[in-house]
Structure 1
């Protein structure tokens, strides 16, 4: 296997598989759907909603069990954390230096990865949702920009339940009763008409909305609740709070 290629598994990846997969099998239940939508080869972009700091592990398990090696865009500070940093670095994950002039390097690395036939996982929200009810919130346009610059399929991965395994603002997992990790991978988000247009701010926003709509509709089905009438926007909420 070529180092860094679609099938390459570094030492950190192998360690994560042999340690985390048995733990997740033992301490969680899983309801998985849509694995047949993940192509067995070729570049693909998987976009997921973000409900807990534990859900990247759950998402990675789902994608790995579906036959692909996941490559995440992860905040760069994790790469300097003992043990975790070694695992991420030697598993070929992609560091993101947020709010810095180097942030574009992660985008370029992700673009190169999908072009080389890899499976890249990205959270359009960029962080765990701040929506009080934990719905997918308004996002930046990075995922849409990456999607529009490639011809690879963009698959929405809706997930729910990781917030029960590791609740918001908690460092201690809840292992009983065993939480159920729900995952549903949908078919490609239709973006070809937008790819044919100049990449303006309006086109990027349309693509972002389509991606978030696809995620939110599947999350709503998992929760058995209607889609919210309005998507939570943390910047607007902060501005309203400051004004109040």
Structure 2
């Protein structure tokens, strides 16, 4: 690990509190952190457990980079929680207000300019795939990468679900288990960055995110991924290129 920036006190204090708890719960193996860029980047990751953000966040902090998770703007208005999120430099996201959404993009861009990492779960929630494969992604991560020009890097992990299964309320720490987290190669969007941001372009970029996460998880699991991908809205697996087929040349709004 070559870079070790001095992180803000709030980030360091939170990491010091969380790290011993995670080490007690589960062993870890981190791969590829040394390949992360010195500049700001966008991290996309699969989502199999409610403790995913802790595991992925600690890995990013280990490199001396601030992880900026996207959080619903309503959380920033809550007592205690809101000020804590602000101090930890997390990014509020407004889904309904277009002007507020533009401000969220500006906040994200500012974090990237300072060398931070924007952390995104492209699926939008814990995977609903019965076998815990990455499911159909939303377009937000691809849109942010195309709008900012920041590197888009997949973080994949496997094993956290053995300690806290999706939607479980209590962990199962014994016998002690282990998870593996792997940083993949940046997702290549160079050909798409030169084109207008149409729905077709956005769909293509999003499918590349899905492919990177699925391939990475398949490597960690040591087994091939399903030919189809889980669509949360339809509650079933669908062809992987269905998103692009529904696209069009209209400018993405």
TM-score for both structures, normalised by structure 2:
0.83
2:138 maps to which of 133, 137, 140 = 140
Which stretches in structure 2 are left out of the alignment for 5+ residues? 239-253
Report the equivalent of 1:180: 178
Question: 1:64 pairs with 54, 61, 66, which one?
Answer: 61
Higher mean alpha-carbon deviation, 201-210 vs 73-82, is at: 73-82
> Which has the larger displacement, 62-71 or 216-225?
62-71
Instruction: Tell me, in whole angstroms, the C-alpha distance in 2 between the residues paired with 1:103 and 1:202.
Output: 22
2:33, 2:126 → 1: CA distance?
24
Aligned length: 232
Unaligned runs of 5+ in 1: 1-5
Cross-structure match for 2:251: none
1:92 alignment counterpart: 89
Q: 1:130 to 1:78 in 2, by over 3 A?
A: farther
Cα pair 1:130 1:234 within 8 Å, conserved? yes
Aligned with 1:149: secondary structure? helix
Shift of 1:98: 4.2
Q: CA deviation at 1:55?
A: 0.3
Bigger mean CA offset, 94-103 vs 168-177: 94-103
Counterparts of 1:102-181 in structure 2 under 5 Å? 102-181=100-179
The answer to whether 1:195 aligns with 2:193 is yes
What aligned pairs does 1:7-86 form with structure 2 within 5 A after superposition? 8-11=7-10, 13-39=11-37, 41-79=38-76, 84-86=81-83
Mean Cα displacement is larger for which, 81-90 or 58-67? 81-90
Secondary structure of 1:232's counterpart equals strand
| Cα drift, residue 177 of structure 1 | 1.6
Alignment partners' CA distance in 2, 1:77 and 1:159: 29
Moved more, 102-111 or 28-37: 102-111
SS in 1 for 2:47: coil
